[in-house]
Amino acid sequence: MFKKFIISLLISTLILQCSNQSGDKPTREQKNWCIKNSGVVQRTSELTSEEQELLNDLYEAQKLYQNTTEINVSFIQFQNKLLQNDEDTMKICKIWAEINKTTSN
């Protein structure tokens, strides 16, 4: 009887854990990619063509998020917001990473 209870508890915990993982938040790999590339926001005047494309993709991700949620997210301290797991910034990160096809393996 106790064994069935433990098994049921483990299964319930597993299901709960899986359901709590949000599909609109970036994977660890995506978040790391966003943090690595977030410097393009700070130095907009000295960008290579590749960095300019990343910045344009970030603005596109922000527009998509704003059109969907009607929430305007500022890019002031963008990297810090990523590090602090700011909810809106994390969602934009996921969109930005997906535009650039950065996915978890």
pLDDT tens digits, 53-75: 999 999 999 999 999 999 999 88
Contact indicator for 89, 47 with CB cutoff of 8 Å: no
pLDDT at 11: 55
Q: Which domain holds residue 82?
A: 25-99
Place of tokens 């977030």: 38
Whether the model clears a pTM of 0.95, i.e. scores above it, the answer is no
**Is residue 91 assigned to a domain?**
yes
Place of tokens 């049921």: 8
**Is residue 79 assigned to a domain?**
yes
DSSP state of 25: S
User: What is d(CA 97, CA 84) in angstroms, rounded to the nearest whole number?
Assistant: 18
**Is residue 6 assigned to a domain?**
no
**Is residue 19 assigned to a domain?**
no
The two tokens of residue 12 are 């319930």
Contact indicator for 3, 70 with CB cutoff of 8 Å: no
Number of domains in the chain: 1
**Is residue 3 assigned to a domain?**
no
